[in-house]
Chain A
């Protein structure tokens, strides 16, 4: 079954076409990596799928339902959750509050603004459970802005999966990490996205080839290759456009 499908998606900013007719099928349950040189349009593609920018033409569907004209919060409620390239946790809230904020909608409450937070047992229990899962229990009440960088990224991954979305988009989850931090983050991502569909932008080739079932290469707003890691690694076009430059 197809979780996310893009058909001839195009996006222009002013006269410049950044995404030039992308076709992409992401199967349910697979781990899909999106790679490509800087400026290829990877993050833009994320922004189009998650509804942050409107597309210029084409079609995007989530579980066979069109989502390309919906605002971000509606797409999220339909089961697609994303993280941002620049860490976007809430620095001035505690770690616990960050998780509660991520859980609020999925726990099924409407905006009854008078309802006090401390009474919402299910919400608080779920947040505590997530804390443990992310190994952040000891950090529960400190401000998220004071966490180490790796912990902040872990918290962000946690917030992205918190709402129970079936499709997870991660934008460079290991950027700026040391080797050991990267290993830890990979293990975490592998664990928390179990049984979900994962699409991630990543620059670290080790991470890409270890984690992904399928790799799509984006160059100048177009898909030049898509398939299993070995196939992509062997592709001549990819080596010329991307991998070759990296190995030299």
Chain B
């Protein structure tokens, strides 16, 4: 029982972190048709910026400044990069963001080196919030939940209740019509791209010290965020949210449940020996299959429901 509750909370924390990254990516993808490979790199930048700023000025300034910096970089990428490449089609855009991934990664390594950064949870949040079944729940995880819930609420209000939100929602499906109604669509695109990068930066700030701040953190996060976007469905923030939480839960639970597929068959009266191929497969512990599961689920989703959970069009 304590494992279940603890894992639920951890899965939620991880899922919300995923959503913070994936929400921006899905908005950018469905509105501009740009599959931004560099999205997770911006997340990594956020973590490095936060480390550097918190060394000089503390965690709170880092929490505010690092995401803004990431948003500004996002706006610059959109205005001076993507907008120029756009005329040459989606492949050019894809290659452009793919190149950015390497530039950002190598750049970070040149400045900060290859070793993980000592970016730590701020001391003020480094205590046990409560104890549950003998295990501590760190206050920082509570803080992460709080920040991501605040972000969720802010996105919701922005999209549903404000003018720019109305235009963004409209531009998700018919950017040409929005443009024909007198709205400056390029400015809307830049805003959304910068906003998405700001959220990715925020995820880096609060995730960098929870996980590890190192130059491979984008590689670790990038693929799973794409899985979330495809699984949730293009053009749907709701689907993106559900997919984030599911993936967060799967990855957390797969680690703690040390069952094998063979164990699941035992109640059915089937027992499997470990000396043939089938037996080998059935005795692999769940913890080792866990990291594969999201990708397997994405492939199944693409095969049987290409538009994802709540998507509006095919991937």
Q: Are B161 and A116 in contact (CB under 8 A)?
A: yes
Q: Is the CB of B161 within 8 A of A104?
A: no
Q: Are B164 and A117 in contact (CB under 8 A)?
A: no
A114 to B180, CA, bound (A): 24
- Say whether B177 faces chain A, with CB atoms less than 8 Å apart: yes
**B182/A106 in contact, CB under 8 A:** yes
Contact A76–B162 (Cβ < 8 Å): no
Q: Is the CB of B164 within 8 A of A113?
A: yes
Q: Which of B133-141, B166-174, B199-207, B222-230 contacts A (4 or more CB under 8 A)?
A: B166-174
Check A82 for interface membership: any CB of B closer than 8 A: yes
CB distance A92 to B162 under 8 Å?
no
B166 touches A92 (CB 8 A): no
Number of interface residues of A (CB under 8 A): 37
**Does A104 contact B183, Cβ atoms closer than 8 Å?**
yes
Partner of B182, one of A77, A90, A115, A120: A77
| Complex A-B: 17 CB contacts under 8 Å | A71-B179, A73-B180, A73-B183, A73-B185, A81-B180, A88-B174, A92-B169, A93-B169, A100-B166, A101-B166, A101-B167, A104-B163, A104-B181, A111-B163, A111-B184, A113-B162, A117-B162
Q: If the complex has contacts A73-B179, A76-B181, A104-B183, are A117 and B163 also in contact, measured as CB distance less than 8 A?
A: yes
A88 to B174, CA, bound (A): 6
- The answer to whether A112 has its CB under 8 Å from any CB of chain B is yes
User: Which residues of the other chain, A, contact B312 by a CB distance below 8 angstroms?
Assistant: 91-92
Q: Which of B124-179 contact A (CB under 8 A)?
A: 158, 161-167, 169-170, 172-174, 176-179
Q: Which of B182-209 contact A (CB under 8 A)?
A: 182-187, 191
How far is B191's CA from A109's CA once the two chains are assembled, in angstroms?
A: 17
A159 cross-chain contacts in B, Cβ below 8 A: 177, 181
Binary interface encoding of chain B residues 67-89 relative to chain A, with 1 for a CB under 8 A from any of its CBs, else 0: 00000000000000000000000
Contact A93 B170 (CB under 8 A): yes
Q: Could you say which residues of chain A place their CB within 8 Å of the CB of B187?
A: 111
List residues of chain B with CB within 8 A of the CB of A91: 173, 312
What 8 A-B pairs have minimum CB-CB distances, sorted nearest first?
A: A105-B182, A113-B164, A76-B182, A88-B177, A72-B179, A88-B174, A90-B170, A101-B170
Complex: A97 Cα to B168 Cα, angstroms: 12
Residue ranges of B at the interface with A (Cβ–Cβ < 8 Å): 158, 161-167, 169-170, 172-174, 176-187, 191, 312
CA distance A97 to B179 in the complex (A): 16
CA distance A72 to B185 in the complex (A): 9
Q: Which residue of B lies closest to A80 (CB)?
A: B180
Complex contacts, B184 vs chain A, CB 8 Å:
71, 73, 111
* A90-B169, A92-B312 given; A163·B181 CB < 8 A: yes
> With A52-B176, A88-B177, A93-B169 known to touch, is A109 a contact of B182 (CB < 8 Å)?
no
Nearest chain B residue, comparing its CB with the CB of A77: B182
CA distance in complex: A73, B186 (Å):
10
Chain B, residue nearest A90 (CB): B170
A84 is an interface residue with CB less than 8 A from chain B = yes
* B-chain residues with CB within 8 Å of residue A50 when the two chains form the complex: 180
A93-B166, A112-B163, A116-B162 known; A84+B177 contact, CB < 8 A:
yes
Q: How far is the CA of A89 from the CA of B187 in the complex (A)?
A: 21
Question: Contacts of B162 on A, CB cut-off 8 Å?
Answer: 113-117
CB-contact partner of B176 in A81, A84, A114, A163, under 8 A: A84
Q: Does chain B have a CB within 8 A of A13?
A: no
* A102 proximal to B (CB < 8 A): yes
Distance of B168 from chain A, by nearest CB (Å): 9
A120-156 interface bits toward B, Cβ cutoff 8 Å, 1 = contact, 0 = none: 1000000000000000000000000000000000000
Q: Report the Cα distance A73→B178, complex, angstroms.
A: 8
Name B183's contact: one of A105, A115, A117, A162 (CB within 8 Å).
A105
**Nearest chain A residue, comparing its CB with the CB of B236:** A92
Residue of B nearest to A81 (CB): B180
Do A118 and B181 touch across chains, with their CB atoms under 8 A apart?
no
- Docked pose: A73 CA to B158 CA in angstroms: 23
